[in-house]
Structure 1
Amino acid sequence: MKDELQNRDVVDLLSERHEILRRLAEDKWNNNNNIYISNSEWYILGRIYKNQLTISDVTKDVDFSRQATHKFIKSLEAKGLVEVSNAEHSKKHKVIRMTEFGEACYEKNELYKSEIEQQLVNTIGEEQVANLKNILNLNWSIEHLEV
Structure 2
Amino acid sequence: MIGVNRLISNSELQNLDLIDLLSERHSLVRKISEKAWNNQSEIYISNSEWYIMARIYKKQPSISYVTKNVEISRQAIHKFIKNLSDKGLVEVKNVENNKKEKCIRLTALGEECYEKNGALKAQLEEKIAEKIGAEQVHILKDLLKLDWDI
> Which of the five TM-score ranges fits, normalised by the shorter chain?
over 0.9
Identity %: 58
Name which of 38, 52, 56 aligns with 2:46.
38
Shift of 1:2: 6.5
Distance 1:120 1:67, change over 3 A: same
Runs of 4+ in 1 over 4 A off after TM superposition: 1-4
Partner of 1:131: 139
CA RMSD across the alignment: 1.3
- 1:3 is displaced (CA, Å) by 6.9
Say if 2:103 is the partner of 1:95: yes
- Aligned mates of 1:66, 1:5 — CA distance in 2: 34
Counterpart of 1:57 in structure 2 is 65
Cα offsets for 1:41-60 (capped at 9, x unmatched)? 00000000000011101100
2:26 counterpart residue number: 18
Is 1:119 paired with 2:127? yes
Q: Which runs of 5+ in 2 are unaligned?
A: 1-8
Number of aligned residue pairs: 142
Q: TM-score, normalised by structure 1?
A: 0.93
User: TM-score, normalization: structure 2?
Assistant: 0.91
CA distance in structure 1 between the partners assigned to 2:73 and 2:51 by the alignment: 14
